[in-house]
Amino acid sequence: MAESVFLDGPLGDELAELIAGRFQTLAEPTRLRLLDALRNGPATVGELQERIGSSQQNVSKHLGILLRAGLVSRRKEGTSSLYAIADESVFELCEQVCGGLQRQIDGVGALLQS
C-alpha cells in the first residue's frame, strides 16, 4: 500500500476548504472526461471537443475551471491553446476511487450470483 501523506494532526479549516475545492472540481463528469482525454498528451479545445463529444463552449468552460484549479496547464501554439495535465496526482486519486468502485461492483455482482 502507498505511504499515506495525510496530515498527522487535525485538519485545519483552510486546508479543509482547499481539499473540498479539489473534490468539488473533480465532481463533474465532463471535467473527468476531459482529464481522461488529456491522459494521452496535450490537446486543443477542438480536439478535446471531438474526443468527448461536447460543444466548444462547454469544453472551454470546464477547461477554465480545471485551469484555475491547477489541474491542467495551457500554452499558446499559433492561434490555438494547447491544454495538458499539470498535476499528475489527479490520476492517482482517480485510480483510488475507480478501484473502490470496482470492488463495490464486484461485491454486488457476487451477491447477485449467489
Structure confidence by residue, pLDDT tens digits, 55-105? 999 999 999 999 999 999 999 989 999 999 998 888 888 777 777 777 888
Domains and CATH numbers, the chain: 18-87 (1.10.10.10)
Across the range 32-40, mean pLDDT stands at 93
Radius of gyration of the chain (CA): 17
Strand partners, 72: 85
Residue 7's pLDDT band (boundaries 50, 70, 90)?
low
End-to-end CA separation in angstroms for the chain: 31
Bridge partners for 75 per DSSP = 82
Reply yes or no on whether the pLDDT at 1 is more than 50: no
Q: What is the pLDDT of residue 2?
A: 45
pTM: 0.78
Q: In what order do the strands lie in the sheet with 80-85?
A: 43-44, 80-85, 72-77
